[in-house]
Structure 1
Amino acid sequence: MIFVSGPSGSGKTTTLKTFIEKNSEFTLLTASSILKQIGRPTQRLNFEDLNENQISLRRWLVGKSIGSKVIWDGHTIIPSEQGLYYLPLDFFVDLPIHTLIFLKTDPSVLARRAGLSDSCALKISELQMIELGYMKDLSNALKCQFKIIPSASQNLLEETLLEYGITTSRN
């Protein structure tokens, strides 16, 4: 499985849906869609709700046959009113993740997409760097490949997904 993360507004879901339309041998799973499907909340969550969501998602994932051409669209860090919620390492352990991809996005673009002023770009940049660092730590702990791709580089993302989609085990 390929796990793709990045800040909200980075274009993950839109870009990945376009990729899937062109490459039907791949399957796209989105955390938010699965949570809605199983009746879990997805907005304005506290840490308790976020923990329960991760337990529910993991339970759902473990029950599926997941190959190297499955792309998981999700977040490794979720901002909440209580602070930053880090997906626990336990969520990822024993899932067949062979690659983590982080979509890095210009913070001013993210601010505009969220309807925020450019003055928020510094805080957005800090949050993006925190998630990027956490994903690096996860890739080391999981012993899987890690790639940073600028979100504006759709062709590079597509090439990377095609390349890593043929990987069948962790390196």
Structure 2
Amino acid sequence: MSTDRLLLLIEDDAAFARTLGRSFERRGYTVLLAANLDAATALLREHSPGYAVVDLKLEGNTSGLACVQMLHKHDPAMLIVVLTGFASLNTAVEAIKLGACQYLAKPSNTDDIEAAFGHIAGVTEIELTSRSTSIKTLEWERIHEVLVETDFNISEAARRLGMHRRTLARKLEKQRVK
């Protein structure tokens, strides 16, 4: 099979994977779906995709970063985009170091992902914001970082953050992330 428009989508949310896959198929891609690292590895035995879209958090708290590393080792020329609902500076840097060409926060659509495939080299023309990061944003990023570190154990995350478990639960309830 040709790698010209062959895309591997590693996503454990079956409904989202089907929707995104159909959208890419309408754009002329052939889409291979995998829900985890093992399924992706099995597909790579028979296919050589030129593109991959990897969800950062897969079933069983498996990290998509392991998939990025495996894909990059399989084919260093493969264009890999990481999608996540748990964006953080740490995971973005690691994804790029492991071989991803771009890192996008959900919600991202097919247009965003396809543009990311075309935006491989860094550019200096990115508009810099004059607004500094808010304390709420920094707090939210730190909460997500600790949640990932603790495998989403709210009690342990609250302890590490120095707050009551109910306070953390209320903060998470106010700002749900899919």
TM-score bin (small chain): 0.3 to 0.5
TM-score using structure 2 length: 0.43
Question: What TM-score, normalized by structure 1, do the two folds share?
Answer: 0.44
Q: Highest CA radius of gyration, 1 or 2?
A: 2
Instruction: Compare relative contact order (CA 8 Å, sep 6+) and give the higher one, 1 or 2.
Output: 1
